[in-house]
């Protein structure tokens, strides 16, 4: 999440010895400091050549900025690193939570009790259509209130991969505990003492009265504002429904549990079906992934573990989102369906399901141009870019985000200089790239890192865009750093050795993508929502619409960096994690941001894509501008060899970019240009268009026009010329190696790329039948 103004603007490698696998470095660098780091007189901890601190340095930039205290935790959650940047994270940072969008229902732990309801759909249009929000915001239909005590606050007491347990405690050990999870229409409660009142937002239409002898006395069901709900009590419970909008539940002493469900319809049969699974209470959720290198496929399983609170039934309902349903190898029977901000959620009776997707590959770079004229033009642009002073970055431009943007620009120029055989330029850029990272990693300059044990995070000082104060955007920031490190590792693996800079990089990896659960130093997959399949950016998630993510492409960049680092360093676990995250994020971006199969974005929204996704809405706007090129481009940058997924649907790309001229005219007509150049981010837009239509992308680019802050003219020209030679990404072909790419030009001629990061020659077989022999540490390219 961005809460401040955010303008966005083959050579033999040097490899004296192999770098240590990053997963091992993560483990070593995160041991207690006595075992893993030397404490220096100034309080610095060392790992190899790197230095970091356990608190901000006195008098340094950002001294008054510290991570927010996650004070509202208890039980198991209090003993582990805080799971920031999740859909339920706001409960840890405030006495009462913001709305929690588990879906298909939403929830809120508030001073009146624990609220639940079906989100209400509403389109909001502002500034003459420049901003749009399709809202499915929380609306409390039912509020669960303990009558035997008054809760003091709400705390996260336990969590697993997409489940949150929230405890609202009073005195003397009294508590109301609610368990909620993605995809479930149920919420599950335990109340330690006293009766429970269910306050209804309006007088309901009663569907199932427990006082009716023809009904099961454990069930009360009703409809409020067009949405139906059911409460499932234990045997021996009694009810008081003397007031239409208040239902009092008297729980027996030995059965202090009940569940509440949002129903897809008001039929008796539906209530009976829900009753059959109502007492299978979830205790844990778990995601697991495997990457089949030979088949280039990623299989992901989702499992819910339950306990039978009544009877012996363990089966529950799982709600599959569109990105799940599209990746099922065999579609199960879905008897029920909910409308939601993520499109249709289909309900199945199961405790586990698996999905499988093709992994379409990335390469670290593309290789040299073939055309003589283009190579000459590129050489001139490289000379010009290398001679130019570094651009002035917006704001302070000295934190981890804008430093990362600089690193990306250098890394791209490095690969181009190498591909074009410009060895002196390549060496100078490699040295510059190392120097930029080492200046931060040595802990002796204005920019440095702190490991905060209270929250469980590794933060760069000074902060940018509330990266410390609200724990925002770490994956955006560190993705650039890790991608730069991958480019260094290709050429100098020794640089990543434990005794050099590998320990510092391992901490960046751990901060955004620890794959272990329950650790005290870093949380499991900090940003990644395993069930929704994409990341969240806000650390605290403290918004009415829930957590959010704007720059889906910067999230993809982060996961691409992990898979590259993993493959280059021989760390298969990290590589497979990166492939899982990359493939998942891409699928969800194509589903929820770009809606390539037209299941999610409502026709009345009137936009070809959503630029921002929230727990309870999707939007067309940005955090800092209404300018349309930037609203689109923030979901395309950084342009790298991992960006080929952006060309998956050329027609969709054409719709998005084709709408920009008219949108720009309307933007200027609104009088809100604020001096924004009319061709702002023209290089990002042209590069994106070239993935769908290389000739059109090149024609759109003005070589003398605006240059985005993380870009260079050399890189944009190289990108456009390369696609002009190779054609569009061909995502119908896969390969039996992780680092590959396939393109097809207008004459249906394919270009095959494969990079071999290993020490022995590699034979790569593509699904089309093409075979490439790739020497060690080299890129092969063939038609």
CB burial string 131-160: b at 16+ within 10 A, e below: ebbbbbbbbbbbbbbbeebebebbbbbbbb
Cβ-defined contacts of 121-130 (< 8 Å, 24+): 121/339, 123/602, 123/604, 123/605, 127/626, 127/670, 127/672, 128/666, 128/670, 129/606, 129/666, 130/621, 130/626, 130/666, 130/667, 130/670, 130/672
Catalytic residue among 554, 576, 711, 730: 554
Contact by Cβ (8 Å): 654, 594: no
CB burial string 94-130: b at 16+ within 10 A, e below: bebbbbbbbbbbbbbbbeebbbbbbbbeeeeeeeeeb
Provide the token pair at 74. 């208890």
Catalytic residue among 418, 451, 473, 711: 473
Cα–Cα distance measured from residue 580 to residue 557, given in angstroms and rounded to the nearest whole number: 13
Phi-psi region of 192 (alpha: psi -120 to 50; beta: other; left: phi over 0): alpha
Q: Is 153 a catalytic residue?
A: no
Contact by Cβ (8 Å): 563, 572: no
Contact by Cβ (8 Å): 646, 633: no
Q: Is 550 a catalytic residue?
A: yes
Strands (E), 365-476: 448-452, 457-461
Strands (E), 591-746: 612-614, 617-620, 728-729, 740-744
End-to-end CA distance of the chain: 43
Angle at 642 between CA 637 and CA 648, to 5 degrees: 85
Catalytic residue among 550, 576, 585, 683: 550
Q: What is the bridge-based pairing of β-strands 257-263 and 297-308?
A: unpaired
Q: Give the residue among 63, 60, 59, 57 at the shortest CA–CA distance from 42.
A: 57
Provide the token pair at 415. 């690969």
Handedness of CA 553, 555, 561, 564 (dihedral sign): negative
Q: What is the bridge-based pairing of β-strands 457-461 and 448-452?
A: antiparallel
What's the DSSP call for residue 728? E
Handedness of CA 379, 381, 387, 392 (dihedral sign): negative
- Tokens 């007492």 sit at which residue? 279
Q: Is 708 a catalytic residue?
A: no
Q: Give the residue among 375, 411, 348, 404 at the shortest CA–CA distance from 564.
A: 411
Q: How many CB atoms lie within 10 A of CB 373?
A: 9
Known catalytic residues are 473, 550, 554
């Amino acid at each position: 999440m961005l809460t401040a103004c955010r303008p966005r603007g083959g050579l033999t490698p040097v490899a004296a010895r192999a770098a240590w696998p990053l997963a091992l470095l993560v483990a070593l660098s995160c041991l207690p400091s006595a075992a893993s780091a030397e404490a220096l007189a100034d309080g610095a901890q060392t790992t190899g050549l790197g230095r970091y601190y356990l608190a901000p340095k006195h008098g340094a930039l950002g001294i008054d900025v510290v991570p927010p205290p996650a004070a509202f935790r208890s039980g198991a959650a209090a003993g582990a690193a805080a799971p920031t940047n999740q859909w339920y994270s706001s409960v840890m940072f405030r006495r009462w939570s913001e709305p929690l969008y588990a879906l298909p229902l939403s929830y809120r732990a508030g001073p009146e009790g624990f609220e639940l309801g079906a989100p209400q759909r509403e389109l909001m249009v502002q500034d003459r259509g420049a901003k749009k929000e399709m809202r499915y915001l929380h609306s409390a239909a039912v509020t669960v209130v303990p009558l035997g005590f008054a809760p003091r606050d709400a705390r996260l007491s336990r969590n697993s991969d997409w489940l949150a347990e929230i405890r609202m405690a009073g005195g003397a050990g009294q508590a109301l505990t609610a368990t909620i999870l993605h995809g479930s229409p149920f919420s599950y409660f335990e109340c330690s003492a006293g009766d429970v009142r269910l306050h209804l937002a309006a007088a309901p239409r009663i569907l199932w009265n427990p006082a009716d002898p023809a009904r099961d006395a454990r069930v009360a069901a009703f409809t409020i504002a067009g949405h139906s709900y059911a409460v499932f009590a234990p045997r021996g419970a009694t009810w008081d429904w003397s007031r239409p909008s208040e239902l009092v539940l008297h729980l027996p002493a030995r059965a202090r549990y009940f569940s509440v469900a949002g129903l897809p319809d008001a039929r008796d049969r539906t209530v009976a079906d829900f009753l059959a699974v109502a007492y299978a209470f979830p205790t844990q959720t778990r995601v697991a992934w495997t990457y089949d290198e030979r088949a280039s496929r990623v299989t992901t399983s989702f499992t819910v573990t339950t306990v039978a609170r009544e009877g012996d039934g363990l089966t529950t309902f799982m709600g599959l989102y569109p990105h799940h349903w599209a990746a099922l190898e065999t579609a199960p029977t879905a008897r029920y369906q909910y409308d939601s901000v993520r499109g249709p959620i289909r309900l199945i009776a199961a405790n586990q399901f698996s999905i499988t997707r093709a992994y379409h590959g990335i390469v670290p770079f593309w290789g040299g141009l073939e055309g003589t004229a283009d190579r000459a033009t590129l050489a001139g642009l490289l000379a010009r870019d290398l001679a130019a002073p570094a651009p002035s970055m917006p704001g302070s431009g000295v934190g981890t985000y804008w430093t990362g943007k600089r690193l990306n620009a250098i890394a791209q120029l490095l690969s181009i200089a190498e591909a074009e055989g410009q060895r002196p330029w390549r060496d100078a850029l490699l040295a510059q790239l190392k120097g930029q990272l080492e200046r931060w990693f040595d802990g002796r300059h204005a920019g440095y890192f702190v490991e905060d044990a209270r929250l469980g995070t590794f933060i760069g000082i000074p902060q940018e865009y509330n990266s410390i104060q609200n724990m925002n955007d770490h994956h955006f920031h560190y993705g650039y750093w890790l991608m730069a490190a991958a480019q260094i590792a290709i050429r100098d693996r020794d640089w990543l050795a434990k005794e050099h800079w590998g320990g510092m990089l391992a901490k960046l990896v751990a901060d955004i993508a620890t794959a272990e659960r329950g650790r005290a130093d870093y949380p499991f997959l900090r940003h990644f929502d395993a069930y929704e399949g994409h990341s969240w950016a806000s650390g605290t998630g403290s918004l009415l619409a829930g957590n959010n993510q704007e720059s889906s492409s910067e999230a993809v960049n982060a996961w691409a960096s992990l898979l590259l680092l993993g493959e280059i360093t021989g760390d298969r676990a990290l590589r497979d994690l990166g492939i899982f995250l990359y493939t998942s994020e891409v699928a969800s971006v194509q589903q929820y941001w770009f809606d390539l199969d037209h299941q999610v974005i409502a026709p009345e929204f009137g936009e070809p894509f959503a630029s921002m996704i929230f727990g309870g809405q999707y939007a067309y706007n940005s955090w800092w501008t209404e300018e349309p090129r930037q609203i689109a481009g923030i979901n395309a940058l950084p342009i790298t060899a991992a960006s080929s997924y952006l060309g998956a649907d050329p027609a969709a790309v054409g719709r998005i970019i084709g709408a920009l001229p008219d949108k720009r005219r309307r933007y200027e007509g609104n009088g809100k240009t604020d001096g924004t150049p009319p061709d702002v981010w023209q290089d990002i837009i042209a590069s994106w268009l070239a993935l769908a239509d290389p000739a059109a992308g090149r024609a759109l680019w003005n070589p003398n026009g605006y240059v985005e802050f993380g870009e260079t003219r050399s890189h944009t020209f190289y990108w456009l010329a390369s696609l002009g030679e190779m054609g569009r990404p061909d995502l119908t072909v896969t390969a039996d190696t992780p680092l590959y790419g396939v393109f097809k030009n207008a004459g249906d001629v394919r270009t095959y790329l494969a990079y071999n990061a290993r020490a022995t020659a590699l034979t790569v077989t593509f699904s089309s039948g093409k075979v490439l022999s790739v020497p060690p540490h080299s890129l092969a390219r063939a038609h």
